[in-house]
Amino acid sequence: MKGVAVVIVLIALAALPLFAGTFYINLASQILIAAIFALSLNLLVGYGGLTSLGHASFLGFAAYAAAWTSTRLGYDWLTAAALSIAATTLMAAIFGLISLRATGLGFLMITLALSQVLWGLAYRWASLTNGDNGLTVPARPTPFDIPLDSAEAYYWFTLAVFAISLALMAVFASSAFGSTLKGTRDQPRRMRALGYNVWLIRWITFVYAGFWGGVAGLLYVYYNKYIHPTALSITTSAEGLLGVIAGGSGTLGGPVIGAGLLVLLRNWASAYIERWNMLLGFIFLFIVLVMPEGIVPGLQRIFARGRARKV
């Protein structure tokens, strides 16, 4: 039932360019990229109970790596993308070793500190990153010789990657490994006594989340054909986290909805309301007060109550 609904939504999304203008197609692409980013962060926050405030590291690093290898080293897009993802995953492995010395607030602070280091490097190491001017990517990829220059083509490409990531996250959440990860979130001590290597489970999750953060970063840099240090800033990390929490951490739909809401507010509402940050504040205040568990679980609860009343 649920699977059928998801497929219908995906088909509807695929049909979007047939009736929407370029502005909305691009907006939708941005939402999908933000959704993949939020889904990857949700692996840590939602299923692992590990709140990271440095997830922009992976998005930003992958984007810079792809831009740098293709412009400075002159690699084709496929090599650049593969190198970028490999390097980002490796970096996640190292960042995981450092961050997972702690949990809770300590973990949050270490992830934040590491991402701030990268952000500082992006700004100051100008010979490598071109500093505040950022790096430009000359062209979008051409998978199977299909050019992705048009808004529609890139949207479909992003949608395909999004569908794959969503499917893999769904399987992850219901898999044996996903179950053990949730176990380490709820009862780490019991899990240890049962024979689970809690640290290793968290570390693998960290690396996997880093990988998907890198995927989002690649889509991001090819969408913009440009990368600037702000992609590595705390704002990017915080928006991802806000999306996960607002939408409902530990669910699949939650991070997608939350990320979509944020992108809509930033790109669409800001055109009409100058102080759109204030609107953002009010919306989050509303979410926290009415459905503190997030939009998706909150709506489920409200609908379930409504249904129970009818019976």
Report which of 158, 112, 125, 138 is spatially closest to residue 229, judged by C-alpha positions. 125
Question: Among the candidate windows 92-100, 177-185, 217-225, 284-292, which touches another protein by CB under 8 A?
Answer: 177-185
Burial class from Cβ neighbours inside 10 Å (0-12, 13-18, 19+) for residue 142 reads middle
Give min distance, CB of 91 to another protein, in A: 20
Give min distance, CB of 56 to another protein, in A: 24
Beta-strand (E) ranges in 199-290? 226-227
Residues 105-124 that bind another protein (CB under 8 A): none
| Distance from C-alpha of 67 to C-alpha of 302, rounded to nearest angstrom | 46
Compare residues 83 and 170 and give the one whose CB is closer to another protein: 170
Give the orientation angle of helix 151-174 with respect to helix 198-224, to 10 degrees: 170
**Contact call for residues 261 and 247 (beta carbons, < 8 A):** yes
Cα distances (angstroms) measured from residue 243 to each of 82, 239, 281:
28, 6, 13
> Is residue 292 a contact point for another protein (CB under 8 A)?
no
Binding test (CB under 8 A) with another protein, winner from 77, 157, 172, 212: 172
**Contact call for residues 139 and 149 (beta carbons, < 8 A):** yes
Compare residues 180 and 230 and give the one whose CB is closer to another protein: 180
Compare residues 145 and 186 and give the one whose CB is closer to another protein: 186
> Is residue 175 a contact point for another protein (CB under 8 A)?
yes
Host H or E run for residue 124: helix 104-124
Give min distance, CB of 173 to another protein, in A: 9
Give min distance, CB of 293 to another protein, in A: 12
Give min distance, CB of 207 to another protein, in A: 11
> Is residue 168 a contact point for another protein (CB under 8 A)?
yes
Place of tokens 């993949």: 36
x/- map, 180-209, another protein, by CB under 8 A: x--x--xx-xxxxxxxxxx-----x---x-
Given the rule CB under 8 A, which residues bind another protein?
168, 171-172, 174-180, 183, 186-187, 189-198, 204, 208
